[in-house]
Amino acid sequence: MFIAMIVSVQNCFAAEISENHSPFHENVIYPLVKTGEDSIDKRINTAIIAEVDRFVTGVYRNAQEINAEVVDVRTNYEIMCNGAGNTVILSLAMTESNYYKGGAHPATYIRTLNFNLSSGELMGLDYLLEVGEGLKDGYFIERLEQKLREKVARKEIFLFPDALPLKKLPENFYWDKNLHVHFIFQHYEIAPYAAGIIDIDID
């Protein structure tokens, strides 16, 4: 259970975002959202805290299973706010990192949560595909593969031999401030660790 310690506040359309630190892990930070509607705030913040709790609990559970010492556990995040007609979207990209003693490098992931600020509902892949209804079947994965190939060529990124063609959409995506959709490929998902976490803007 995380107890919020408010550090700073920023605005996101009609929502106020406070940055909070876990009292148990000084490097674990996360946002809490205040829209003025208690039911919406509860829905959004419960999902955010559940994600942070899932991450931290998982780190220590895994440490027990592999008999390892946790050296570092930390989070950071970026908030993107967008207006799409009558829908205001808050996208949260949470960077989660942990390091075990003796490890070659930290394990880092980006987890995303997208919320409709009018209702507090999570907007996952099902929502994205519903928004794209009327587009040809497979449009998103084709567009993602096209943009991935362009970035790979531009940045000279080495992909695993079986990375392409893409088999499915990554589960983590977000809308940026310009309402572009970005998909996230984690370390080792399609490329070696040195390639980093790959963020693809499909426009």
Has residue 110 got a pLDDT over 80?
yes
Q: Identify the bridge partners of residue 113 per DSSP, sorted by sequence position.
A: 92
Has residue 118 got a pLDDT over 60?
yes
Looking at every residue in the chain, the average pLDDT score rounds to: 90
Q: How far apart are CA 71 and CA 152, in angstroms?
A: 34
Q: How would residue 88 be classed by pLDDT, with cut points 50, 70 and 90?
A: confident
Q: How far apart are CA 35 and CA 33, in angstroms?
A: 7
pTM of the predicted structure, to 2 decimals: 0.90
Q: Identify the bridge partners of residue 21 per DSSP, sorted by sequence position.
A: 29
Task: Quote the strand ranges of the chain, DSSP E.
Answer: 6-12, 15-21, 29-34, 70-84, 87-100, 107-116, 173-175, 181-185, 198-201
pLDDT per residue over 140-172, tens digit each?
Answer: 999 999 999 999 999 999 999 999 999 999 999
Has residue 3 got a pLDDT over 60?
no
Amino acid at 76: N
Amino acid at 127: Y
Length of the chain: 203
